[in-house]
Structure 1
């Protein structure tokens, strides 16, 4: 090894780091053995961290700073508009106006967070008494028993998507079978629910487009499609190729390579607009090109609270209370299909239907415990027969819980560590479905027709819940 080089061993590369050492240290700046507690997440871009002592200078030169400054100039940017509120009286957070007008020297603004981390959720569960834990398990099973009849299974691959399924695409687009099958089933369920119909001349169903003409707009317009958490945009790509759409908005806060944008822009008569913004900060009313246009909202694997943010974005209270919305110049939702994901990341502050949990006798702490349990659903080996047990709900959780919560149990941590994979998975799926059912109930309360379905088997993806809804005019 060359003298003066970092002595940190890189096992994947089977060699030492080639960077120069930092001063008298044996390691470079990247591998210098400092406590991780000295590093904090960058408040401008959470994808990287920075030493706490360097925060102030980093904020002046962070690569994300220029993008953030540009974003704040956009009319559709409104900090935290879809974020929701925490009902706790002791909730301490910066309000939207203050967050937009902060000054960098105020370190304390960045060092606090009202998010409940996974470690905090786990520790809260472990601090329960065995009777409290057993009671929570019983309550989860009881609640799930009341909602299970509302959860359907519909693995639906429509004929319209055969061009993708059979790899018959002319464009050079990525093909991963498990993703293509999920995308196709989302579209198939949309079609079954009356939001799409088998393409005739690559047109969306006339029942959706109709209300646009009835409110005085002119031209052969069809609803726009907004894909939330779009990533590379291949769900929209399949929708454009198989059903035909005219106007597309891709909402995504991250930058991606190998996007579908290039091939979408080459589609005749299709217009595309990518909005690089966090869903929490997106004010759809201020998107000029969406004015007066009905739209269909879609999303595949909207992680954690992103589902709740999307629902607030599409169905804000001021829109819901405006009974004359169709006669105004604003956009309006015609339907939605959201595949949920990563429930362990959900936060009470953002959750769309807190009243649902409270009415079930569940507290904020219960909610966070339930979100922590959901990670167990995706920990299991879903390539085995376990997925069949979970999908069909044939596993008696109550019997299993009694087995673990015996008198001799030393504590909840011991109980959790001794639980078998099937018991953990069953509990995880129950909790995921309870969380999503609360979201579905909220959508239904807004006057939309709804459906909750498992759109693919667990061995294709354990994240297989799809929320579908459509407005009354499409019934």
Structure 2
């Protein structure tokens, strides 16, 4: 088994050394765009009379800084760079000590002669990567910025530009559309609709006005119950792209775990108004809840401590192993065979995993599937479970954000003869399925009137004029463009289904809500074949 841990080639000490050497590029701060009209400059306020108040004038607010200074100082710590050697020094005199922007975070400053000590205690100092981090471990092909020489992979059109399609001639575009239509008719079966409900959302439906999210979550939980994903309260539920963790919150209500379940939330950024505290529960025994702020492409699921069976709600960290006797340690170092046997003995049984997500955009779905299959390959050698991943349920969306190098089923693309360039065209045209400014003509009070198509959906996008023009050039009305966009989406989705089937899962695509509830109303659901054969 290969080592999935990433070597610590960028430790804290290295980051400090880079900062001191000036080779570390400071992060780019978000510049707020000011749209207010310029105010008339008011006369400066009088010199502050409050004892030990900073004398730095904030020009934008036309007031002096309110921070407190040290005894005998004129400026606070943030503006102490303006402090000079004498108490009554001239304005042009050089300061006794110089403050410079912190290399880790330029929004604050540090003393230049004390920079090294500041870098070691700075809160913005890069943290050491955890054990469950491995750079790009879940990518199918190398990322564009890390491609080796001579390795070419065309990036997907995540920037939202349509120039890639505009470069095609009308004959090429018509031929591509005909190819997509033929492939869809050949490879995509009829997709059934399974709209269910779950009582865990009954209270929410009574108190919210916009209940479309409640309908989606209720149907997802209903399908999880149908597929027996809720019957084992000791399961570890991993929500990918968790955001606030709202789906996990209602999942906890549906499971009624009484503190026995484990909830792992994975997202790149920590959002506000999280449901993490609600997931802990109000009972004496709290559920085990852990949020991992990490990109899914770098996540090694097998190294997540919360998946271990010996990490419970009362024991939130892996138990510290007792130190072996010196004799045992020496014996373990005698040969490679004994070392391998020792590692084998160190394996700890994992909990069954159920992966869920409500609207996992674009390539995030692809790297999630890759992450789960990587975990399955790692655990199958040791786990006593029929399958380490008990179930997968992902509500799909935003296929226009897919990347060719992230797509897990490259063999399927070769089988249907879709090149990397055509993959970009495929993802670009998929946006036609959810464009909100397409219109149709309806008769209102006896007169024709154009009505918008799409409704208010959080994943709908605005169709650009160039794509509309392309559709007009090839005589595609809005129904034709929407149909073609859906065909592009389903081709990508059926490749994902085949990928899971090749690795031992009974996978299918299901419409879990109607189109009026959400334009993105399709979910990928999968359970191990062993589980379906036994039921």
Q: How does the TM-score come out when normalised to structure 1?
A: 0.67
CA gap 1:462/1:473 in 2 versus in 1, 3 angstroms: same
Please give the residue correspondences for 1:167-186 in structure 2 after superposition, counting only pairs within 5 Å.
167=207, 176-186=210-220
Please give the residue correspondences for 1:389-468 in structure 2 after superposition, counting only pairs within 5 Å.
414-417=469-472, 419-468=476-525
Alpha-carbon deviation of 1:117? 3.4
Partners of 1:242 and 1:161 lie apart in 2 by 9
SS at match of 1:301: strand
Please give the residue correspondences for 1:22-33 in structure 2 after superposition, counting only pairs within 5 Å.
none
SS at match of 2:238: strand
Which residue does the alignment assign to 2:413? 357
CA gap 1:382/1:258 in 2 versus in 1, 3 angstroms: farther
Partners of 2:406 and 2:396 lie apart in 1 by 15
Which residue does the alignment assign to 2:297? 280
Does residue 471 in structure 1 map to residue 505 in structure 2?
Answer: no
1:123 to 163, 168, 174: 163
> Any conservation in 2 of the 1:380–1:421 contact (CA below 8 Å)?
no
Deviations 1:416-466 (A, max 9, x none): 355432222111111111111111110111011112111112221111110
Alpha-carbon deviation of 1:182? 0.9
1:16 to 37, 62, 65: 37
1:151 to 185, 191, 196: 191
Which residue does the alignment assign to 1:103? none
> Any conservation in 2 of the 1:251–1:274 contact (CA below 8 Å)?
yes
Alpha-carbon deviation of 1:192? 2.0
SS at match of 1:285: helix
Partners of 2:221 and 2:129 lie apart in 1 by 35
Partners of 1:382 and 1:325 lie apart in 2 by 53
> Any conservation in 1 of the 2:158–2:402 contact (CA below 8 Å)?
no
Alpha-carbon deviation of 1:9? 7.7
> Any conservation in 2 of the 1:380–1:425 contact (CA below 8 Å)?
no
> Any conservation in 2 of the 1:228–1:297 contact (CA below 8 Å)?
yes
> Any conservation in 1 of the 2:200–2:250 contact (CA below 8 Å)?
no
Alpha-carbon deviation of 1:289? 2.1
SS at match of 1:117: coil
CA gap 1:385/1:440 in 2 versus in 1, 3 angstroms: farther
SS at match of 1:61: coil
Deviations 1:158-215 (A, max 9, x none): 3454343334xxxxxx87411111111111122222323xxxxxxxx1xxx4xxxxxx
Please give the residue correspondences for 1:132-143 in structure 2 after superposition, counting only pairs within 5 Å.
132-143=172-183
> Any conservation in 2 of the 1:343–1:432 contact (CA below 8 Å)?
yes
SS at match of 2:508: strand
Partners of 1:308 and 1:320 lie apart in 2 by 17
CA gap 1:235/1:141 in 2 versus in 1, 3 angstroms: same
- How many residue pairs end up in the alignment? 357
SS at match of 1:254: coil
Gaps of 5+ in 1: 1-7, 21-27, 30-56, 97-112, 168-173, 197-204, 210-220, 391-410
SS at match of 2:141: coil
2:126 to 65, 69, 88: 69
Deviations 1:3-23 (A, max 9, x none): xxxxx983xxxx415699xxx
Please give the residue correspondences for 1:167-316 in structure 2 after superposition, counting only pairs within 5 Å.
167=207, 176-196=210-230, 205=231, 209=232, 222-245=234-257, 246-268=261-283, 269=285, 270-291=287-308, 292-316=350-374
CA gap 1:382/1:147 in 2 versus in 1, 3 angstroms: farther
Q: Which has the larger radius of gyration?
A: 2
Partners of 1:307 and 1:446 lie apart in 2 by 16
Partners of 1:423 and 1:82 lie apart in 2 by 36
Partners of 1:250 and 1:18 lie apart in 2 by 46
Alpha-carbon deviation of 1:119? 5.6
Which residue does the alignment assign to 1:5? none
> Any conservation in 2 of the 1:150–1:452 contact (CA below 8 Å)?
no
CA gap 1:178/1:62 in 2 versus in 1, 3 angstroms: farther
> Any conservation in 1 of the 2:104–2:124 contact (CA below 8 Å)?
no
> Any conservation in 1 of the 2:249–2:279 contact (CA below 8 Å)?
yes
> Any conservation in 2 of the 1:450–1:467 contact (CA below 8 Å)?
yes
Partners of 1:351 and 1:125 lie apart in 2 by 21
Partners of 2:219 and 2:301 lie apart in 1 by 27
> Any conservation in 1 of the 2:440–2:478 contact (CA below 8 Å)?
no
Please give the residue correspondences for 1:337-348 in structure 2 after superposition, counting only pairs within 5 Å.
337-348=393-404
> Any conservation in 2 of the 1:156–1:184 contact (CA below 8 Å)?
yes
Partners of 1:137 and 1:359 lie apart in 2 by 18
> Any conservation in 1 of the 2:154–2:404 contact (CA below 8 Å)?
no
CA gap 1:148/1:382 in 2 versus in 1, 3 angstroms: farther
With a CA cutoff of 8 Å and minimum separation of 6, indicate the structure with the bigger relative contact order: 1
SS at match of 1:347: coil
Gaps of 5+ in 2: 1-32, 42-58, 61-100, 108-121, 309-349, 443-450, 455-465
Alpha-carbon deviation of 1:306? 0.4
Partners of 1:263 and 1:175 lie apart in 2 by 22
